[in-house]
């Protein structure tokens, strides 16, 4: 197997995804479809064009005005019927329904890994905060990743003060709607007796990293694993338990942040939700390709 060629082909396909102008092939038909039964002024630009512009904006971390400039430059060589204004791009982006689950590879059963990561608020007075040694605020993105396909199948966006374990049930329930979850892999932040019990009750085997000082109490699964860990040592227990299957969720975050950065570009909360849905959808597409 030629891994170098595989990597080359993958990056070429990635570049094609960023600058795909396939929307030009079906411009009129798509407009007719989305304007059917629409009250008020009809849309002038197909949804696929707005998504293309959004890819350029968020992958290259530029503004809507620059995207308009890029399209204007390309119009000299590509038959783009019309160029939207900055406000049209922004408004349409915030109106679209981004389904980050649309590219998910469905399986009858799955194992998932849960984790969270902070995403900074870009426009938050960084100079003043650094001067007064204040922590820059951020929001937390919680995801559940299929450990076989490496795609995010469930997500939650919360304030930075919200704990990881509080979102675990929501992520697992959303994952169950995609396909049956057999195992749930989580780090020590999720090590709560209540979550262990909930997973067992819902027929999900919890593979949660125990704290090194965990004490066995009772006959629960957590107690059994704590006894085993105390007997053979944490490192051997970790390997025996197969906790390395948690790795795909860390890889997913790595792809996400390398491609889209570690901050939000939108300022309003409702627009941030749109942004994170779009980026999650894009990240799943990149992994799929």
DSSP characters over 270-285 = HHHHHHHHHHHHHHHH
User: What is the Cα–Cα distance from 170 to 6, expressed in whole angstroms?
Assistant: 36
User: What is the Cα–Cα distance from 129 to 143, expressed in whole angstroms?
Assistant: 29
The total of other beta-carbon atoms located within 10 Å of residue 283's CB is 24
**Per residue, what are the HEC states of 153-179?**
EEEEEEECCCCCHHHHHHHHHHHHHHC
Q: What is the pTM of this model?
A: 0.86
User: What is the Cα–Cα distance from 119 to 264, expressed in whole angstroms?
Assistant: 7
**Token pair for 47:** 């949804």
Closest CA to 112 of 186, 196, 191: 186
Q: What is the pLDDT along the chain (289 residues), one digit of tens a residue?
A: 566 787 788 888 888 888 888 899 999 999 999 999 888 889 999 999 999 999 999 999 999 999 999 999 999 999 999 999 999 999 999 999 888 887 787 778 999 999 999 998 765 555 444 544 555 678 899 999 999 999 999 999 998 889 999 999 999 999 999 999 999 999 999 999 999 999 999 999 999 999 888 888 777 899 999 999 989 999 999 999 999 899 999 999 998 999 998 888 888 888 888 999 999 999 988 887 7
User: What is the Cα–Cα distance from 263 to 157, expressed in whole angstroms?
Assistant: 13
Residue with tokens 């694993």, as numbered in its chain = 225
Q: What are the C-alpha distances in Å from 92 to residues 18, 34, 57, 67, 237?
A: 19, 12, 14, 14, 51
User: What is the Cα–Cα distance from 31 to 188, expressed in whole angstroms?
Assistant: 50
- Percent helix, strand and coil across the chain, each to the nearest 5: 55, 15, 30
pLDDT at 128: 44
Give the H/E segment covering residue 145. strand 138-146
User: What is the Cα–Cα distance from 74 to 78, expressed in whole angstroms?
Assistant: 6
Q: How many Å separate Cα 225 from the centre of its chain?
A: 31
Torsion angle defined by CA atoms of residues 46, 16, 263 and 73, in that order, rounded to the nearest 10 degrees: -60
Give the H/E segment covering residue 116. strand 109-121
């Amino acid at each position: 197997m030629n891994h170098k060629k595989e990597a080359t082909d993958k990056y070429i396909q990635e570049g094609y995804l960023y600058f795909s102008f396939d929307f030009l092939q079906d411009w009129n038909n798509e407009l007719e479809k989305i304007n059917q039964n629409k009250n008020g002024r009809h849309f002038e630009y197909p949804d696929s064009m707005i998504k293309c512009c959004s890819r350029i904006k968020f992958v290259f971390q530029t503004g809507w005005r620059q995207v308009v400039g890029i399209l204007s430059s390309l119009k000299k060589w590509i038959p783009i019927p019309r160029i939207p204004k900055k406000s049209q791009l922004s408004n349409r982006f915030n109106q679209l329904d981004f389904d980050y689950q649309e590219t998910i590879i469905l399986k009858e059963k799955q194992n998932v890994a849960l984790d969270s990561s902070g995403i900074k608020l870009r426009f938050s007075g960084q100079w003043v905060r650094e001067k007064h040694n204040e922590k820059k605020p951020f929001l937390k993105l919680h995801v559940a990743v299929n450990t076989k396909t490496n795609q995010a199948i469930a997500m939650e966006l919360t304030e930075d003060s919200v704990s990881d374990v509080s979102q675990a049930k929501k992520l697992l329930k959303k994952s169950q709607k995609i396909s049956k979850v057999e195992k749930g892999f989580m780090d020590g932040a999720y090590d709560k007796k209540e979550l262990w019990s909930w997973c067992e009750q819902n027929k999900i085997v919890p593979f949660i990293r125990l704290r090194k000082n965990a004490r066995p109490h009772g006959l629960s699964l957590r107690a059994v694993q704590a006894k085993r860990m105390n007997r053979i040592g944490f490192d051997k227990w970790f390997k025996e338990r197969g906790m390395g299957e948690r790795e795909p969720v860390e890889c997913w975050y790595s792809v996400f942040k390398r491609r889209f950065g570690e901050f939000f570009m939108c300022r309003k909360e409702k627009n941030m939700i749109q942004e994170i849905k779009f980026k999650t959808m894009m990240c799943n597409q990149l992994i799929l390709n």
